[in-house]
Structure 1
């Protein structure tokens, strides 16, 4: 089970790594049945291979949400 502190540290590391990736529109934490995971929101499925499956032992999950538009 991954605790919140470990997930936060992994999120910070992953945010730095993916900060310039145009396919990534958001990085956050999500609680799952086995603890916390880092959740990466993507513009399209083609960006998924650039996201690692885990960071420092913390599981990373992706979700394609599309392009984020502001009004």
Structure 2
């Protein structure tokens, strides 16, 4: 498994855990091949899910406040 495949698996773990959490706007992967990070986009940075891990499957988890995302 390549690093990007492993990062995709880590992302899927978080999507399964937080897909229905209204505090989470989205989950993605960022960084370069040597430093991949799982990004969790939050509606409000002050409302981080208490069970959000710092790492998942060995990848660091970072949070960004992006607000609510929806169709226009």
Q: TM-score, normalization: structure 1?
A: 0.83
The answer for unaligned runs of 5 or more in structure 1 is none
CA contact 1:24–1:47 (8 Å) conserved in 2: no
**Of Structure 1 and Structure 2, which has the larger fraction of its residues in helix?**
1
Q: How many residues align?
A: 70
In the alignment, does 2:63 pair up with 1:62? yes
Across the aligned residues of Structure 1 and Structure 2, the Cα RMSD in angstroms comes to 2.0
Q: Which residue of the partner structure matches residue 12 of structure 1?
A: 12
Separation in 2, partners of 1:48, 1:34: 27
Q: TM-score, normalization: structure 2?
A: 0.82
**Of Structure 1 and Structure 2, which has the larger fraction of its residues in strand?**
1
The structure 1 segments of at least 4 consecutive aligned residues displaced by more than 3 Å after TM superposition are: none
